[in-house]
Amino acid sequence: MQSEKLLSIVNLDKSYGNHHPVIKKLSMDLYAGELVAIIGRSGAGKSTLLHMINGTISTTGGDIIAFPDSDTPQKAHLLKGKALRHWRSQCGMIFQDFCLVPRLDVITNVLLGRLSDTGTLRSLFKFFPKKDVERAIELLEWTGLINQALQRAENLSGGQSQRVAIARALMQTPRILLADEPVASLDPKNTHRVMEALQEISAQNIAVMVNLHSIEQVKQYCSRVVGIASGEIIYNGSPDGLTEDIQQRIYANPAS
């Protein structure tokens, strides 16, 4: 028996205005405990895909079904208001440029991950329950940033910032973690630390979906890889099956 299916994408379409479609009839599933890489050239629709799952970009067709194996599957792309915020809290997101709040200290940045589960009035005064603070400390220790806990986020390096962003996403206790080019602006050492962290997270039965640019990283860290070209899936399977020929097709120039 395979592990739980957390997300099912069926015939997803996206186009902006009357321009070319960005995503065409894309279908794929996401299972608990996987580390799935999404690869493709710039503009292939990788980021758009992640943002549509999280609901920050609207879809133009098809379905994104959250927790299809559970008793209450939901159409994630139709959610609004409170239900949408709840879905987003279950589906963490990290970005290439971190998106931390620069003037807040690191531990508060991590605690912000609990916003959707904290009462509004409390949260506006930055009062978080003790168990959340304990959890944040635990996560900071795990990411090796405990000594920076009371520093402002703006004083961190790129690699440190990304680790804080990961801690913040884990603070949400997500079932799914979406990472939009998390290592694109990092050096090799920090890349290794971040990718290793993502691997450990997927081992906690969380589905991790990550946009990557390097085939090497895909082969080294990921359990599955999805290659997208011009909004369509070219390859979906084990990284070992990613032959030269398939890579050629994924990264081919669409105009030629």
Partner 1 sequence: MINHSNTISTSERSNNERQYAAIYASRRRHMVITFSLGLIILFYYIFFFYFNGLTPEQMFQGLDKLGQYFARMFIWRNVSQWPFGYYFTQIAVTLGIVFAGTFTATLLALPLSFLASRRVMNTFILASISVVIRRLFDIMRGIDMAIWGMIFIRAVGMGPLAGVMAIFIQDTGLLGKLYAESHDAVDKRPSRGLSALGANHLQKHRFGIFTQSFPQFLALTLYQIESNTRSAAVLGFVGAGGIGLVYAENMRLWNWDVVMFITLVLVLLVMIMDKASELLRKKYIIGEDIPLFNQPIQHIEK
Binding site for partner 1 (CB under 8 A): 20, 43, 105, 107, 125-128, 133, 137-139, 141-142, 146-147, 149-150, 170, 200, 204, 253-255
Q: How many CB atoms lie within 10 A of CB 37?
A: 27
Coil vs helix vs strand at 22: strand
CA 182 from centre of chain: 9
Shortest distance in whole angstroms from residue 158 CB to partner 1: 15
- Half-sphere exposure in the Cβ direction for 101 (13 Å, CA): 12
- Rank residues 8 and 108 by Cβ distance to partner 1 and give the closer one: 108
- Rank residues 9 and 169 by Cβ distance to partner 1 and give the closer one: 169
Shortest distance in whole angstroms from residue 172 CB to partner 1: 13
- Rank residues 139 and 209 by Cβ distance to partner 1 and give the closer one: 139
Shortest distance in whole angstroms from residue 85 CB to partner 1: 24
Q: How many CB atoms lie within 10 A of CB 135?
A: 20
Residue 52 DSSP one-character state: H
Shortest distance in whole angstroms from residue 30 CB to partner 1: 21
Shortest distance in whole angstroms from residue 112 CB to partner 1: 14
Q: 203 and 33 in contact (C-beta within 8 Å)? A: yes
- Rank residues 85 and 126 by Cβ distance to partner 1 and give the closer one: 126
Gap between the Cα atoms of 43 and 34, Å rounded: 25
- Rank residues 85 and 103 by Cβ distance to partner 1 and give the closer one: 103
Residue type, 215: I
